[in-house]
């Protein structure tokens, strides 16, 4: 009887975790801290990728988990996180993955319902490009994973996606690696109707939302979608 109760409790814990969202704080820039805070929910599981801990603390609390080689983490911050009870997964500096990639793979293994990356844009250009490229990993195909700093949102569209914003928001659709075929959009000022976007052309750049919701779909390929919110939102 006791074993059955423990099994039921474990299943309940797993079910709850699967419904929770993982928020990963990267070590990029946050141009609008208040806008970033608006993205967060009370039941989010917070993961800091090394120096991303500073963004978590600025947003109001210590992360639940810290992952990385800690080369961007000042000693006083590490000591504070240890006192706050943050769990730590420390990796060697000589590794094949960035700290953000390690954090993403942790979230995938723990089967969170979705992943939001905060602070993954800005700063070093190579890191920003690597973070955007990470979204295109085929292993993430079935997951809702987005990079968002409150002002700018980035995601990969493989079949379809919905954007929530406001009329006037800028939306750019950039083919990733190959031509994107059968692209259809709704809710954009310049609609696309089963068209092909080429990676060597800029046709999908700087469209605008004509209403509060936009829909994007395609038949083949991958689109990197950059949604820039209006500054007065």
Residue 102 domain-assigned? yes
Count of domains observed in the chain:
2
- Burial class from Cβ neighbours inside 10 Å (0-12, 13-18, 19+) for residue 228 reads middle
Q: pLDDT tens string for the chain (233 positions)?
A: 444 443 443 444 444 445 689 999 999 999 999 999 999 999 999 999 999 999 999 999 999 999 999 888 888 898 999 999 999 999 988 888 999 999 999 999 999 989 999 999 988 899 999 999 999 999 898 889 999 999 999 999 999 999 999 999 999 999 998 999 999 999 999 999 999 999 999 999 999 999 999 999 999 999 999 999 987 65
Tokens of 218: 């395609």
**Cα end-to-end span (Å), the chain:** 55
Q: How far apart are CA 12 and CA 218, in angstroms?
A: 37
| Residue (of 209, 74, 212) closest to 225 by Cα position | 209
Question: Positive or negative, the Cα torsion across 73, 131, 20, 225?
Answer: positive
**The pLDDT value given to residue 124:** 86
**The pLDDT value given to residue 3:** 46
**Are 181 and 99 in a shared domain?**
no
Q: Which CATH number do you get for residue 116?
A: 3.40.50.10240
Domain boundary among 101, 130, 150: 150
**The pLDDT value given to residue 2:** 47
**Are 30 and 46 in a shared domain?**
yes
Residue 192 domain-assigned? yes
Residue 9 domain-assigned? no
**The pLDDT value given to residue 114:** 94
**The pLDDT value given to residue 142:** 87
List the domain range (segments joined by +) for residue 143: 20-150
The answer to pTM > 0.85 is yes
**Are 63 and 136 in a shared domain?**
yes
**The pLDDT value given to residue 125:** 92
Q: How far apart are CA 91 and CA 101, in angstroms?
A: 12
Residue with tokens 């639940």: 64
Residue with tokens 């209006």: 230
């Amino acid at each position: 009887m006791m074993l059955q109760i423990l099994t039921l409790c474990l299943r309940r814990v797993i079910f709850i975790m699967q419904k929770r969202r993982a928020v990963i704080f990267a070590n990029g820039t946050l141009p609008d801290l208040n806008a970033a805070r608006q993205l967060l929910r009370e039941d989010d599981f917070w993961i800091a990728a090394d120096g991303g801990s500073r963004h978590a603390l600025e947003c109001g609390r210590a992360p639940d988990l810290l992952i990385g080689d800690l080369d961007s983490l000042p000693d006083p911050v590490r000591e504070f996180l240890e006192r706050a009870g943050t769990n730590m997964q420390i990796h060697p500096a000589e590794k094949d993955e960035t700290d953000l990639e390690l954090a993403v793979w942790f979230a995938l293994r723990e089967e969170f319902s979705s992943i939001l990356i905060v602070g993954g844009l800005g700063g070093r250009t190579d890191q920003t490009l690597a973070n955007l490229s990470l979204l295109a990993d085929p292993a993430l195909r079935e997951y809702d994973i987005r990079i968002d700093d409150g002002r700018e949102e980035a995601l990969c569209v493989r079949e379809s996606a919905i954007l929530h914003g406001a009329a006037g928001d800028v939306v750019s659709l950039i083919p990733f690696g190959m031509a994107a075929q059968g692209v259809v959009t709704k809710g954009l000022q310049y609609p696309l109707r089963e068209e092909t976007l080429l990676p060597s052309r800029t046709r999908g750049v700087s469209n605008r939302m004509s209403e509060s919701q936009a829909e994007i779909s395609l038949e083949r390929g991958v689109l990197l979608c950059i949604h820039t919110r209006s500054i007065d939102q």
